[in-house]
Structure 1
Amino acid sequence: MIYFVTGTDTDAGKTLISEAMLRGATGSTLGLKPIASGCEQSNDGLRNADAQALMSASSVELDYKQVNPFAFEPAIAPHIAAEQAGVAITCQALNDAIPVDAMMQTDFVLVEGAGGWLLPISHGQTLDQWVAKQQWPVILVVGIKLGCLNHAMLTIKSIETAGLTVAGWVGNQLDPDMEYAPENIAYLKANIKAPCLGVVPYLQRVNAQAASAYIDLSLLD
């Protein structure tokens, strides 16, 4: 099954949760990060830490370029970075770049987005338009912090308006000192129709293996 992973914001924790889900899944697994800015130069070219984390958590081995075909060095909005690099990110370009054959042969595939749900990828095109064409079910990562209720409900509404299914959502505690965090989580559970796959508490050290213990992928069924 192929799922698209989006977040309520840039730092909601998409990669942590995606890596945790890949490590907790059964069967063959594959994580992809088609678009990434904030990459670092290496002897092998531009490399993104999030994409490398997904590769490490995946059982299916692919070349880096297949996992992260659009990599940009500046840590800025990808459509701006792409324009500066003279690269056109379009829905068709994304279709041409993703490893479709490998995806179809893998039991559990996560395609991680960049930024939030309505990320622009070029002038006139946004990432959600590409996901809508694929008709992938969406897993939403909700960064649990002040403002998460509005961000989560707006994102859910936009996903559903696009005609897509929210397969589930995961809460990721970002602020250890957030007041009334349990009440905020309870509101989300009561008002999001899709199942809550889990709530990952604030982790002093970011650890996908530890995070995976809080996520129940069987709820996706």
Structure 2
Amino acid sequence: MLTHFFVTGTDSRVGKTIVSRALLQAMAAQGKIVLGYKPIATGSQALADGVRNKDAVTLQQSSSISYPLAKITPFALSDEDIFTSDLPFDIFERMTEGLEFMCQEADTVVIEGCDGWRTLITPQQTYSEWIVQTKMPVVLVVGIQEGCVSQALLAAQSIIADGVTLLGWVANRINPCLAHYPETIAVIEQNIDAPLLGEIPYLPRAESREMAHFLDLSRLAAMA
């Protein structure tokens, strides 16, 4: 059984949180207990009742268990650039500890990353190093817009070259006016050595919608 996997994107703002929500909803519909985990999140706000991150809130609302936001996102950063923030030296160990605890609580944990595959968390250290160390399988989110074909192929090649399993990719239509949408999906599908798990159309307020029906988890199970 697929106990946990990592969701990365071709870039920032391509819909990783939306796709993570759809994956959580789809697995919950199969009767699984699921939890979302975003160990590092940028753009967080300090409020009277604590630090709040909108991505973490979406994952919390999409999970089977009402998990505390501080556990879903232990490193909620206000800065948009991770590597300019003061993260602890043992950041990977602490991220792994949080994941292991969640795996005891849920059948499957969906871990959402930050930005793209090669995101820096220090000037010399990438987020992807944690994924490689833990041998975590990956789902790639492709934001369908101008220039996305090159981004998708480069990201997929980089993930596979790092020696981790690319479970599949999800197309998220973030530009509703993009011409040649079917052709774009087809050419990416022909050139990525992993299955297309689903297509999410452009949806206003997608973070509050039901999206499980846009995904085909049988393809995910075949790769696990």
- TM-score normalised by length of structure 2: 0.90
Question: Which position in structure 1 is the counterpart of 2:77?
Answer: 72
Distance 1:71 1:106 in 2: 22
Q: How well do the aligned residues superpose, as a CA RMSD in angstroms? A: 1.7
1:87 Cα deviation after fit: 4.8
- The residue type paired with residue 169 of structure 2 is W
Distance 2:193 2:138 in 1: 13
Q: How much identity, in percent, do the aligned residues show? A: 37
Question: Which position in structure 2 is the counterpart of 1:53?
Answer: 58
- The residue type paired with residue 71 of structure 2 is Q
Native 8 Å contact 1:91 1:125 kept in 2? no
Question: Which position in structure 2 is the counterpart of 1:179?
Answer: 179
Unaligned stretches of 5+ residues in structure 2: none
Question: Which position in structure 2 is the counterpart of 1:34?
Answer: 39
Question: Which position in structure 2 is the counterpart of 1:209?
Answer: 209
Matched residue SS, 1:123: coil
Question: Which position in structure 1 is the counterpart of 2:129?
Answer: 129
- TM-score normalised by length of structure 1: 0.91
1:20 Cα deviation after fit: 1.2
Native 8 Å contact 2:6 2:110 kept in 1? yes
- The residue type paired with residue 119 of structure 1 is T
Native 8 Å contact 1:66 1:99 kept in 2? no
- Aligned pairs for 1:134-213 (under 5 A) are 134-207=134-207, 209-213=209-213
Distance 1:204 1:144 in 2: 15
User: Runs in 1 of length 4+ with deviation above 4 angstroms?
Assistant: 86-89
Question: Which position in structure 2 is the counterpart of 1:108?
Answer: 108
* 1:112–1:207 Cα change, 3 Å: closer
1:208 Cα deviation after fit: 5.4
Native 8 Å contact 2:145 2:173 kept in 1? yes
* 1:58–1:88 Cα change, 3 Å: same
Unaligned stretches of 5+ residues in structure 1: none
Distance 2:126 2:18 in 1: 24
Question: Which position in structure 2 is the counterpart of 1:15?
Answer: 17
Distance 1:60 1:53 in 2: 13
Distance 1:99 1:210 in 2: 25
Native 8 Å contact 1:117 1:127 kept in 2? yes
Matched residue SS, 1:6: strand
Report which stretch shifted further, 202-211 or 11-20.
Answer: 202-211
